[in-house]
């Protein structure tokens, strides 16, 4: 791609994860697509901050935190809970009158309009959390059997599930930006649930499916990043062309 302004990609983690989830992506993506993982309170470099369990206040907090970084083209990416949080972040940014993202990438998460979050509305026990991790096929039995690791991970996972359970769709205007959705062919989240994202955009929509279960973003990292890069390049090219037109009046 020709030299020019880079596109910043803010990445939101899935339940129980930290910003480190996306650190590998920096080595796999070109310089014009800058990966900017967002760390949530209570984990990683923000371990000393309290965990949060209400998704809208968290989205507003994140919007305030990144507001100074929105001086150029950017997009939002989130997997599972991260996709839902990216959606709320896009709305929080819009409410504040801040520059809007060129696109929203939602991975492994059902569309907001008809999703049922009642399963996550009440705090789960350690046993229920561990069973859910087994169902998602993303955590080895060795990790699940490590009491020290579980003592660190389960409180974060419990709070993140409550974040999901606090979501309500409400009646808000569709976002005026493209939404690109990624799904796993063997995931329990069905294609029709992923297609529900169409209701929340007034612009372009796409759905790409990859082999794998819920954590296909790890299993199919290379093809997923190729797909993400293709969409990002299209949006950045259009943004650059618009800047040229505006500059020439």
Q: Does the annotation mark 168 as catalytic?
A: no
Phi, psi of 217 (to 5 degrees): -65, -25
Cβ–Cβ under 8 Å, residues 161 and 169: no
For 3, 10, 233, 240, the CA distances from 237, given in Å and listed in that order, are 11, 19, 6, 5
Q: Which residues contact 113 (CB under 8 A, 6 or more apart)?
A: 169, 196, 199, 200
Report the C-alpha gap between 70 and 170 in whole angstroms.
Answer: 27
- Residue 18, C-beta contacts closer than 8 angstroms, at least 6 positions apart: 39, 40, 43, 44
Q: Which is catalytic among the residues 80, 140, 202, 206?
A: 80
Q: Which residues are catalytic?
A: 80
């Amino acid at each position: 791609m020709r030299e020019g302004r880079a596109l910043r990609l803010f990445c939101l983690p899935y339940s129980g994860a930290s910003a480190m989830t996306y650190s590998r992506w920096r080595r796999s993506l070109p310089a014009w697509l800058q990966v900017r993982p967002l760390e949530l309170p209570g984990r990683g470099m923000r371990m000393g901050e309290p965990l949060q369990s209400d998704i809208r206040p968290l989205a507003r907090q994140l919007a305030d935190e990144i507001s100074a970084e929105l001086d150029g083209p950017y997009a939002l990416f989130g997997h599972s809970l991260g996709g839902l949080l990216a959606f709320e972040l896009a709305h929080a940014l819009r409410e504040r009158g801040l520059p809007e993202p060129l696109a929203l990438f939602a991975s492994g998460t059902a569309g907001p309009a008809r999703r049922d979050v009642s399963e996550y509305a009440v705090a789960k026990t350690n046993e229920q959390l561990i069973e859910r991790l087994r169902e998602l096929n993303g955590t080895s039995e060795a990790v699940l059997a490590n009491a020290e690791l579980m003592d660190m991970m389960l409180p974060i996972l419990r709070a993140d599930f409550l974040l999901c359970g606090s979501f309500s769709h409400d009646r808000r205007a569709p976002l005026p930006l493209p939404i690109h959705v990624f799904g796993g062919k063997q995931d329990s989240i069905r294609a029709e649930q992923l297609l529900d994202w169409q209701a929340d955009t007034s612009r372009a929509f796409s759905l790409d499916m990859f082999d794998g279960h819920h954590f296909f973003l790890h299993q199919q990292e290379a093809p997923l990043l190729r797909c993400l890069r293709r969409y990002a390049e299209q949006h950045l090219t259009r943004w650059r062309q618009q800047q040229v037109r505006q500059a020439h009046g």
